[in-house]
Structure 1
Amino acid sequence: MASASTNDIEFCSVTKNYGAVTAVTDINLNVPKGAFLALLGPSGCGKTTCLRMIGGFEQPSEGKVLIDGREMNGVPAYRRPVNMVFQHYALFPHFNVEQNVAYGLKQMRPRIEAAEINRRVGEALEMVRLGGFAKRRIHEMSGGQQQRVALARAIVNRPSVLLLDEPLAALDKKLRSAMQIELQTLQRELGITFVLVTHDQEEALSMADVVCVMSAGQIRQLGTPQEVYDRPADLFVADFVGKTNRIHAQMEADGTTLRLADGSAVASSRRLAPGEAIAAVRPEAIHLSRDKVSSGVSFRGTVTHRIFLGSSAEYAVTVPGLGDFLITADRRGANESDLVEPGEEVFMGFDPAAIHVFPASNA
């Protein structure tokens, strides 16, 4: 009987132990059908363990994993409606492109007719824009082309879920950016659920429509890329997803006034219990000027370093009593003379609404 579940993947109180080591602790996660989910976090956070439990390469120690409403505990990988693209592609070097893509279809039982295999292989290669490469040997392909062969091999079986284990890690920056767009396009065309494991924040934010930030085997935040970046749930997320400046402060008795280390006061948009707090501000939310900033929060400091990035520039600015700040300044419409030089005194300011405030114990 067909499942009525609106989720392709569900984790119900899932824990995974490797002996005395707990890799994942009490994870609850629902992935809607057709979503592009990124599991994002540092090495050892549990994201790859979650991916492997979806794929059937690992079994949960506690809890249940469901795909399309059906429990998968104990179901081997080859019986799941899932395919996986590995980081190093795992292509057969002695097969040509066509043979690599057709391999999985030829293992299926009952057997598929040769004409149907050829049709589906051709269709998969067209989807990944390799229609004229069927007879090409693997060693004759570039890294990006090999990655697309691995994708074609994964989608030719028409899985409900496609798992991607850091598939772009081996590519150079320019090719990686191009493949990010191709993967997004392919996911929309296929309409199936993609689950991407990555430690690259930019990759997760640019490709996925749902981001799951993990740390120490637990989910720290689940949301859209914009929600995770603009409204981080805690200081770990604010630090890990993108860049942020930390300002040590004291929340006063009213629960809304932040008293900074230099004695200045800033109104907080988030109420917090009185005590030590951390104010987090994104580098691009800070305005840099040679003239005094007339509105918002303003400080005077000295530029210590500058990194030129073409369309923008990053500055390290030291503010007496507050420490060092990283500031990203957009250079669109500016000219070379607008660049501030190391050693210059500057004013920096930001809107109090740009501050994210967390308890110091959250650090």
Structure 2
Amino acid sequence: MTSAANDIEFRSVSKRYGAVTAVSDINLAVPKGAFVALLGPSGCGKTTCLRMIGGFEHPSEGEVFVGGATMNGVPAYRRPVNMVFQQYALFPHFDVESNVAYGLKQLRPRLAKAEIARRVGEALEMVRLGGYATRRIHELSGGQQQRVALARALVNKPRVLLLDEPLAALDKKLRTAMQFELQSLQRELGITFVLVTHDQEEALSMSDLVCVMNAGQIRQLASPKEIYDNPADLFVADFVGKTNRLAAVVDPASGSIKLANGKTLATTRARAMNAGAATVALRPEVIRLARASAANAALLEGTVTHRIFLGSSAEYSISVPGLGDLLVTAERHGTEDSDLVEPGESVAMNFDPGQAHIFQA
């Protein structure tokens, strides 16, 4: 039996294509009404998982449940699921109303024309396209086409909505606007959304839960904050957001780590680890930057080699003897004397060792 609190469950699911294993022994539970992002690099298995939920692929092993019922062997058109594809898959020779009504017209027994018109109107109002019913697809902007695809997917009132990188074709400004639209829509409807993306920012900003995948397996399933602040392993720390990787040796007896440049840092995290080689993952924004002349008791010192100006902040590449290049993100007023440091300047860096994540080699 599946949990009544879950809309989607994978139980020991694997998917193979000949000798290639796309998904390996995955167990996953998606709560009702959640907005879940499947995040990972190309080939990690996220799209395969989405397609197994939608019925476009079937597991080689294990079971997929939707709404508490097993979907093994159930064709896509019989599942309480709809999908919005990356390229929207709209019919260019239909107007907006006909595109949205298409799925309703395939239902058996047939719906009355008045019922179809009513539901199409509701769906278009839902995505804020109430006055666009007679428009042709080529007359719409990219964002409007995306909303037509959403209306077509939602008009059948699915239990689960699947989104296969639906914002990938949009420019950055429109993509940001549509992220807000999708969040608002999901909250209004209260249905489960499953989004596939390789965009970390998109996954973190839109979803309640992020499922980070790699090589056909789930590496971590947690809230966006938990994923970012407490990555389960070095892959998650590396893939989600930016991070500096520093070679170190753990000494649990003294509760410290020794970096490759000889600097020793005290951290309680070391006491719970085994002695030996490790990698320290340090987010660029936790490092405080100051000009070397203004620094006191700096943990690290180095020389700025590159700077990328980002408006409200700046990213610096800093060469640190014995450690290599570190990436540091500083707010415009995060440095002393001036809000920008120039390439070639010597700088000092401090950070709370407790904010560094340590992973055994």
Q: Structure 1 length normalisation: TM-score? A: 0.96
Counterparts of 1:274 and 1:255, CA distance in 2: 10
Change (3 A) 1:75 1:278: same
Query: Equivalent residue for 2:266?
Result: 267
Counterparts of 1:333 and 1:264, CA distance in 2: 24
The 5 A counterparts of 1:26-37 are: 26-37=25-36
The 5 A counterparts of 1:24-173 are: 24-173=23-172
The 5 A counterparts of 1:1-363 are: 5-252=4-251, 254=253, 256-270=255-269, 271-290=272-291, 291-294=293-296, 298-331=299-332, 337-360=338-361
1:255 touches 1:274 (CA, 8 Å); kept in 2?
no
RMSD: 1.6
Counterparts of 1:48 and 1:310, CA distance in 2: 35
Question: Residue 15 of structure 1 aligns to a residue in which SS?
Answer: strand
* Greater alpha carbon shift after TM alignment, 226-235 vs 283-292: 283-292
1:255 touches 1:273 (CA, 8 Å); kept in 2?
no
Question: Residue 44 of structure 1 aligns to a residue in which SS?
Answer: coil
Q: How far 1:323 sits from its partner (Å)?
A: 1.1
* Greater alpha carbon shift after TM alignment, 184-193 vs 334-343: 334-343
Q: What is the percentage of aligned positions where both structures have the same residue?
A: 73
Question: Residue 153 of structure 1 aligns to a residue in which SS?
Answer: helix
Question: Residue 42 of structure 1 aligns to a residue in which SS?
Answer: coil
After superposition, the C-alpha distances for 1:246-304 in whole angstroms (9 at most, x for unaligned) are: 11011125273111111111123322211110011000000100155447x61111000
Counterparts of 1:357 and 1:333, CA distance in 2: 26
Counterparts of 1:17 and 1:275, CA distance in 2: 38
Counterparts of 2:335 and 2:276, CA distance in 1: 42
Counterparts of 1:323 and 1:335, CA distance in 2: 24
Change (3 A) 1:301 1:336: closer
Question: Residue 268 of structure 2 aligns to a residue in which SS?
Answer: coil
1:220 touches 1:237 (CA, 8 Å); kept in 2?
yes
Counterparts of 1:4 and 1:92, CA distance in 2: 38
1:317 touches 1:326 (CA, 8 Å); kept in 2?
yes
State the one-letter code of the partner of 1:307: I
Counterparts of 1:216 and 1:25, CA distance in 2: 8
Aligned residues between the structures:
357
After superposition, the C-alpha distances for 1:52-111 in whole angstroms (9 at most, x for unaligned) are: 000000000000000111000000000000000000000000000000000000000011
Counterparts of 2:227 and 2:125, CA distance in 1: 35
1:268 touches 1:357 (CA, 8 Å); kept in 2?
no
Question: Residue 299 of structure 2 aligns to a residue in which SS?
Answer: strand
1:252 touches 1:258 (CA, 8 Å); kept in 2?
yes
1:255 touches 1:272 (CA, 8 Å); kept in 2?
no
Change (3 A) 1:56 1:318: same
State the one-letter code of the partner of 2:70: E
Question: Residue 175 of structure 2 aligns to a residue in which SS?
Answer: helix
After superposition, the C-alpha distances for 1:309-330 in whole angstroms (9 at most, x for unaligned) are: 0011000011111111000001
